[in-house]
Chains A and B, each alone.
Chain A
Amino acid sequence: GENVEQHPSTLSVQEGDSAVIKCTYSDSASNYFPWYKQELGKGPQLIIDIRSNVGEKKDQRIAVTLNKTAKHFSLHITETQPEDSAVYFCAASSTGANNLFFGTGTRLTVIP
Chain B
Amino acid sequence: NAGVMQNPRHLVRRRGQEARLRCSPMKGHSHVYWYRQLPEEGLKFMVYLQKENIIDESGMPKERFSAEFPKEGPSILRIQQVVRGDSAAYFCASSKGQGNTGELFFGEGSRLTVL
B-chain residues with CB within 8 Å of residue A44 when the two chains form the complex? 43, 91, 106
Q: B interface, how many residues as a size bin?
A: 20 to 34
In this assembly, does B107 line the interface, its C-beta being within 8 Å of a C-beta of chain A? yes
In this assembly, does A69 line the interface, its C-beta being within 8 Å of a C-beta of chain B? no
Contact of B99 among A41, A42, A99 (CB under 8 A): A99
Contact of A31 among B55, B100, B105 (CB under 8 A): B100
A-chain residues with CB within 8 Å of residue B106 when the two chains form the complex? 36, 43-45
Q: A42-B108, A44-B106, A98-B55 are in contact. Are A93 and B41 (CB under 8 A)?
A: no
Q: A interface, how many residues as a size bin?
A: 20 to 34
B-chain residues with CB within 8 Å of residue A49 when the two chains form the complex? 103
A-chain residues with CB within 8 Å of residue B4 when the two chains form the complex? 43
Contact of B45 among A32, A42, A94, A99 (CB under 8 A): A99
Q: A32-B100, A42-B108, A44-B106 are in contact. Are A99 and B42 (CB under 8 A)?
A: no
Contact of A102 among B44, B56, B101, B108 (CB under 8 A): B44
CB pair A99 B48 closer than 8 Å: yes
Bits for B59-81, please: 1 = Cβ < 8 Å to A, else 0: 10000000000000000000000
In this assembly, does A78 line the interface, its C-beta being within 8 Å of a C-beta of chain B? no
B109: nearest chain-A partner, CB-CB: A43
B-chain residues with CB within 8 Å of residue A54 when the two chains form the complex? none
Which of B's residues lie within 8 Å of A, judged by CB? Answer: 4, 6, 33, 35, 40-45, 48, 55-56, 59, 91, 98-101, 103-109
Task: Name the 9 nearest CB pairs between A and B, nearest first.
Answer: A32-B100, A43-B106, A99-B45, A102-B42, A93-B100, A98-B56, A98-B48, A104-B42, A102-B43
